[in-house]
Amino acid sequence: QVQLVESGGGVVQAGGSLRLSCAASGRTSSIVDMGWFRQAPGQERLFVGRISWRGGSTYYVDSVKGRFTISKDNAKNTMYLQANSLKPEDTAVYYCAARSPLVAGYDSWGQGTQVTVSS
């Protein structure tokens, strides 16, 4: 099992930046890739992007492409989300998740961190 803890959320004005972190512990050797999701009030949880844990390839949804960057530090078992040019519609609870081999979806989740973008 992998345990995940997010940090770095907060309140920022539109156009500002935040850097979220996701620290993994436990069976980190089993991680295939890690992803970021977000959930706005009253809405479903949506995929934001992911990073391959070994190769480092990334993928982003169109709404954040060019503004958000996912990176990782394997030595620290930590994934990051650099969010720039933030918009009020980016306001949500951000969750990180990890996927193990032979699993179709993400099977480990963090508790979430709130990001609020004021206009």
Residue 48 has a pLDDT of 98
Residue 107 has a pLDDT of 92
Q: In whole angstroms, what is the distance from residue 15 CA to residue 13 CA?
A: 6
Beta bridge partners of 5: 23
Q: Is 13 exposed, middle or buried (0-12, 13-18, 19+ CB in 10 A)?
A: exposed
The alpha carbon dihedral of 17, 7, 55, 59 has a sign of: negative
Q: Are 69 and 51 within 8 A, CB to CB? A: no
Nearest to 81 by CA among 100, 73, 11, 89: 73
Residue 102 has a pLDDT of 78
Low-confidence stretches of the chain (pLDDT beneath 50): none
Q: Are 10 and 117 within 8 A, CB to CB? A: no
